Amino acid sequence: MHPGNILVNITQPHKLKYISIDYVIVGYLNKKDKYYLAENLIAFFIMIIVK
Query: pLDDT tens for residues 2-45?
Result: 667 888 888 988 888 888 887 665 778 899 999 999 999 899 88
- For residue 19, give Cα distances in angstroms to 1, 7, 24, 50, 51: 12, 5, 14, 24, 25
pLDDT band at 46 (very low <50, low <70, confident <90, very high): confident
Q: Determine the pLDDT at residue 35.
A: 94
Q: Determine the pLDDT at residue 21.
A: 80
Q: Determine the pLDDT at residue 30.
A: 92
pLDDT at 50 over 70: yes
